[in-house]
Structure 1
């Protein structure tokens, strides 16, 4: 295995200069950094991670808590997010440490322990919510973090809080309009109980686009806990209306799958359904869904924490001159569940019986 001495000899610099290039590149002249980096690449040298952590008090590690899986459908989004986080972190020579916690307070206990032991340099928060105590504690204690989710009910542009989120309002608005363009006259909505920052935004997008008169919208909206069975029950109650909806947009793929099952049981295959998250289940059953750009979410999160490259945590800005948040727009992925006309569905069923 090549050593620091081997790199120094090839680059014709001192051992300390090699160390500076690895640990504090900003103090080394660009021409020297380039020469040392070329030697590192040529020899295939990799610094000893444990020794470097002891010397620099840096772990080159990001901590992130995961929640228990519920129905396995919603959990697919977090699974994809974690895989993409690990892939992009590795390109920066960073590691990802995953831990579990019972609730937000228990998560903060883990954060304190990991931070005090220099086991983690920064944290990624997921599933932010109104009055989130994690955000307040992390900002007050100057712990570097970025959240996948905006600070619901708090200041969006606080420079101490770096966040990335997906514009669910825009996504549901686009889906509702697309359903209406395909001929739907009454697009209903199934979402989560309020207050739910994410859920409320998605419902607002439906409200902005649906052609249902404002006075009737409450009849065509359902708020239920996330899950396939909840989506089925909500869709059944909507289909029981005298003027039943001819399309439903849902806050998740779990709810949308339940709505599809309800439509099948009620013998209304023409009911058009759109979910949210574009999970593998949605692709497998032909469910239209709103796709979150998770590659872009992860890239933005790492940039907000570490800059355009490298693994040194950026200092918290003292002003709003440098952006500290990103709101990304999702896209609608249309499949058979949302864009076929009733006669097309009937024809497809008939051909399948031969």
Structure 2
């Protein structure tokens, strides 16, 4: 490699919420950053973000395409339970526009954004080289640190982090649809519909989320052989949305559990989906990706300042201290309640409970377990047990 090759303190691979946030924060810290993002890809995503994300990451109103005031949970029997948000709202973003805005913000902060495809990392006595491609042209830059924010099937992670290829995943698929011109169809502009029905997903859930002028209609499953496209076709037909124009279709894997190790102890750190930062049970990822990106930037800054590779471990340690308990609870919840339609029916019935609704929204909006109401937690525990062991009817 020529001594004249470009040098960056950090190369961030992947320009979604995690990577773009990492690049923005590092650039604001005065670091030279190259942000690489593979062009032409839009991740399938319901697009929900809590008020905590809007506040912590300064997301402007222009990016909020819908404001959700109600979640409707639909059981296998088609029984619907409404969960009003209360004060505030859940913001909805469209990743087609949100991700480019995040990358633009990184550029404005000083990061060098390039629409390129990552290929590999080489190392020699002089340091680390990242190879990437823009169209047919090959390029290479030198760096001290590579941050992989390139999705659940991360090429960076698979090459650099042992065990990454075995990451447990659920495959998500959605269709962005314009509502039928005649105004028909079962949806509302301020309501998220969540379908806990085995016919639409045997181990996850399906959704209809408004995106302003369009709707995200999606599902996910880890079951091999289950047709996600067929499930969405059936869901659209059953909700009167089959006649709507399909704007685009997208699919991608989502991780089910944070990896045990996010760095290689040398010059690579993972974040976002590449590190497994997606909430079990709900599949929520945008807030956690952006937080993971911020923690990655802070760990990277510590590493670049001190040269101590142990600083890279703080990204995972801090994330799990903040949210490891929540992820564990959600993983248990998914394992217990998503197994079959009988249990899904009972799970939806629990959502009628006002204590459950209030604690759910408070925890979701603030991204913290609510500790101010211990007796409510006790009540919910016993109610859960009653439904699980069928001491009460759904």
Q: TM-score, normalised by structure 2?
A: 0.29
Q: TM-score, normalised by structure 1?
A: 0.31
Query: Which protein has the larger Cα radius of gyration, Structure 1 or Structure 2?
Result: 1
Greater RCO, CA 8 A, separation 6+ = 2
* Bigger helix share: 1
* Bigger strand share: 2
